[in-house]
Amino acid sequence: MFQWLFPNWSNPLIVTALVGVRILLNVYLTVMVSEFAGRRTVHTATMGLITLLSGVLTILLLRPSGLPHDLSYVESLS
């Protein structure tokens, strides 16, 4: 079912579920920042961009034809 997203993985459904949970937790943290700092603040915008960057990098790093693994350090920092 998710073979197109994560080809060459033995169980792409589990990989998709783990990535989904990670992205949802990052979105939850972004929502918490927006409730604390306000929706239209620099902190919320920064957290939103970092959440988006982290999600995209995670997916692209797990794909066989994706990004080089050196970028995983950038994703870990985000």
From CA 22, how far away is CA 13, in angstroms rounded? Answer: 14
- At residue 78, the pLDDT reads 66
- The count of C-alpha atoms lying within 13 angstroms of the C-alpha of 21, restricted to the half-sphere facing its C-beta, is 5
Residue 36 clears pLDDT 80, i.e. is over it: yes
Supply the pLDDT for residue 48: 92
- Taking the model in full, what pTM does it have? 0.77
pLDDT at position 31 = 94
State what percent of residues in the chain have pLDDT above 70. 90
Residue 41, pLDDT above cutoff 70:
yes
What integer best gives the mean pLDDT of the chain? Answer: 84
